[in-house]
């Protein structure tokens, strides 16, 4: 192991260091990349990740042209990485959407697009860690 200086970025995660020993982890650049990839960078913002009374039921019907041509699995994969790295606040919504990877229907696609509208507003969110007097201990397997 060697010291390569202050960490600024790693695997799509940006690190910054603030006042009073605060450390920040964010994925704003990664989020912008996802929004651009799925053509949602200019979408209308949404204040919440899901609409009121949303019903995501199993899609027993065959896929429609909208759902068949949309890269649903790829979108969920990108959101899963975002969720596990820096956005625990979106865990429930993403895990719910991931239950329909085999056969997403129109409600799932609409919910996914609503979610993209939510991260458009919240892409600046970050995890903040503060210094403590204790020792930092790391474990690996």
Q: Is residue 57 part of a domain?
A: no
How many domains, in total, are found in the chain? 1
Q: Is residue 106 part of a domain?
A: yes
Tell me the residue range of the domain where 121 lies: 9-49+63-129
Residues 71 and 109: their CA atoms lie apart, in Å, by 10
Q: What is the mean pLDDT of the chain?
A: 82
Q: Is residue 124 part of a domain?
A: yes
Lowest mean pLDDT among 85-89, 110-114, 122-126, 129-133: 129-133
The reported pLDDT for the residue numbered 109 is 87
Q: Is residue 1 part of a domain?
A: no
Q: Is residue 2 part of a domain?
A: no
């Amino acid at each position: 192991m060697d010291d390569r200086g202050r960490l600024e970025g790693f695997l799509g995660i940006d690190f910054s260091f603030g006042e009073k020993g605060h450390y920040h982890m964010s994925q704003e650049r990664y989020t912008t990349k996802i929004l651009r990839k799925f053509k949602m960078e200019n979408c209308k913002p949404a204040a919440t990740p899901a609409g009121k009374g949303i019903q995501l039921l199993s899609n027993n019907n065959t896929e429609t042209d909208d759902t068949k041509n949309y890269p649903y699995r790829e979108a969920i994969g990108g959101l899963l990485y975002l969720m596990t790295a820096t956005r625990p606040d979106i865990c429930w919504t993403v895990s719910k959407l991931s239950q329909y990877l085999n056969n997403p229907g129109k409600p799932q696609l609409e919910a996914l697009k609503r979610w993209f509208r939510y991260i458009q507003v919240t892409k600046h969110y970050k995890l903040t860690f503060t210094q403590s007097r204790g020792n930092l201990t790391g474990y690996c397997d």
